[in-house]
A and B are shown apart, each in its own frame.
Chain A
Amino acid sequence: MADKFFAWYGEVFKDSALSAREKSLIALAVAHAVQCPYCIDAYSSDAYEKGWSESQMMEAVHVASAIKGGAALVHGVQMMNKVKSIAM
C-alpha cells in the first residue's frame, strides 16, 4: 500500500501540465491550510530550493488563509439559518 502511495505521490509532483516548481508552491499553501507541520517544513524547503522568494511563499500562505478564512465566514450563513429556524 505504502509503495503504491509513494509512487502516486512522486508522480503527482513531476513536471507535467504544471511544473514541479509550481506544484511545490501549491503544496506549501495546502500544507498551511491543513496545518501539517511536517508538510510545512518539507515544502518551505522545497519551494525555497525551487526558487520561490519568501514574499512569494508568504503570498501563497495568504491565499490559503483567505480561502480558509472565507470558508469559515460563509459558514455564518449556516449559523444564521439554524438560529432562524429555532428562534421566535
Chain B
Amino acid sequence: MKSLKALQHALADAGHQIDILEHEKDLPLFTGKMKQAGLLPLLPTQPEIFQVNVGKMCNQVCKHCHVDAGPDRKEIMTKTTMQLCLDVLANNPSFKTVDLTGGAPEMNPDFRWFVSEIKKLKRHIIVRCNLTIILANKKYHDLPDFFKQHEIEVVSSLPFYTQDRTDRQRGNGVFEDSIKALQMLNAVGYGMEGTGLLLNLVYNPAGAFLPPSQIALEKEYKDALLERYNIQFNQLYVITNMPISRYLDYLLVSGNYSSYMEKLIQAFNPVAAANVMCRNTISVGWDGYLYDCDFNQMLDLKIGCSGSDHLSNYSSSAISEREIILNQHCYGCTAGSGSSCGGAVA
C-alpha cells in the first residue's frame, strides 16, 4: 500500500482537503459553534507541550493516518532543524514536555541523538512509537532499552485488543508484532507497577464511528491483554479519528463522510472545546514550520504569527498573543469527551 502522495491522489493536497471540509452543505461552521460557546477567538494558554514531527517516513501505512505516512515518504527532519528545536527549548522553560511523533520517529537517522540532547535539557519526553518498528529491523530491537535509559514515556497505538480490528486499520500482521513489542516493553519494566516507566496505549475507532468511554474501554483492554497475552500498561487514550487525509479518503469512498461529520457536530461539547490540546501545545513540522497542532500541520495551516511561523524566527511573545487557527476538522477534538494526543479532555 502506498501513501496518497505517492499515488498522486487529489487528497494528498492539503488545499483540496480544506475545500471538501469547508464546502459540505448544511454543516454549521466550527467557528460558529465556538462563538456560541464563548470560545472565539480561541486563545492559547501557557505553552507546555512541544510536539515535534520528526518526519513522515513510517514502516506502516495505516488506513486512518492523518499524516499520510509510509515507507515512501521522504520528508525527514534534519539535524540542523533539530538543533533549532533544542535552541527554542533551551530559551523557553515553560515547555515541560517534548512529544516526538512522525511517521515512525525512530526512523529518523538522528532520532537517538535528538532524544539524548533533549534529555540534557531535563525535559519529559514522549515518543509515539507504533510498536512494530521495534521488530521491523534488527537495529531497532534495542529500542525498549533505549527508551528506558532515557526515561521516555512510550505512547503506542493499538486500535483494539483483537487481531481483526487492529490489522484492518494498520495492516496485516501488525497486531501480532504489536503484541510481541508490548511484551518486550513489559520485559524491561514498561507498564509495570513501581517502575515509573510509562506505557500508554491509544485506541482509534476502526470505522466511521466515535470512540466509546475511555474509562470503560481501558478496563476491557487491561483485562483482555493481561488474560490473553500477559501484557500490562498504564493508561488507555481514546482518540477520535480526524476527517483529514487517509481517514477523509476512507469516509468519502465508503459514503460515510456526511454522517460522520454530523456525528461529530451533534456531539460538540463546549467543555471539551475549552480544553483542546492546541491551547498549550506548539506543533513543529519536519521542516521547522510551526503549527497549532499536528492536524493543522497536515492541512498546512501554519500558526497565526506572521513573521514568526518558523523555528528560526521563534517569538514567545508572538506565540502567546496569537489566535489559534480553526477549521471544520476541529470538530474531531470537541466531540463527546473530546480528543487529544493524551486522550479524552472532558
Contacts and interface: CB of A to CB of B under 8 A. Distances in A.
A68 B160 CA distance: 33
A49 B216 contact: no
Contacts of A15: 216
A63 to B, nearest CB: 20
13 contacts: A15-B216, A19-B216, A21-B220, A48-B207, A48-B209, A49-B205, A49-B212, A50-B212, A51-B217, A51-B220, A53-B162, A53-B164, A53-B165
**Most chain B CB inside 10 Å of its own CB: which residue of A20, A45, A48, A51:** A51
Contacts of A48: 207, 209
Residue among B207, B216, B217 with max Cβ neighbours from chain A (10 Å): B216
Given A51-B212, A53-B165, 12 more contacts: A15-B216, A19-B216, A20-B216, A48-B209, A49-B205, A49-B207, A49-B209, A49-B212, A50-B212, A51-B217, A51-B220, A53-B164
Contact of A49 (B162, B164, B210, B220): B210
A48 B211 CA distance: 11
Interface in B194-221: 205, 207, 209-210, 212, 216-217, 220
A51 B209 contact: no
Interface string A1-30: 000000000000001000111000000000
A53 B209 CA distance: 15
Interface string A23-61: 000000000000000000000010011110100000000
A28 to B, nearest CB: 15
Interface string B150-167: 000000000010101100
Nearest to A24: B212
A41 B244 CA distance: 26
A48 B210 CA distance: 11
Give the secondary structure class of B's interface. Answer: loop
Interface residues of B, number: 12
A20 B212 CA distance: 11
B4 to A, nearest CB: 26
Nearest to B220: A51
B209 A45 contact: yes
B337 to A, nearest CB: 14
Contacts of A49: 205, 207, 209-210, 212
A71 B41 CA distance: 63
Contacts of B217: 51
Contacts of B210: 49
A51 B207 contact: no
B216 A21 contact: yes
Nearest to B162: A53
A49 B217 CA distance: 11
A53 B163 CA distance: 11
A50 B205 CA distance: 10
Contacts of A45: 209
Contacts of A50: 212
Nearest to A55: B164
A50 B238 CA distance: 13
Contacts of B212: 49-51
A48 B162 CA distance: 13
A50 B212 CA distance: 7
A20 B160 CA distance: 18
Contacts of B205: 49
Q: Which of A21, A45, A49, A53 has the most CB of B within 10 A?
A: A49
Contacts of B160: 51
Interface in B128-186: 160, 162, 164-165
Contacts of B207: 48-49
Nearest to A20: B216
Q: Ordered nearest first, which 5 A-B pairs have the shortest CB separation?
A: A49-B209, A50-B212, A53-B164, A49-B212, A53-B162
Nearest to A56: B162
A18 to B, nearest CB: 13
Nearest to B205: A49
A58 to B, nearest CB: 13
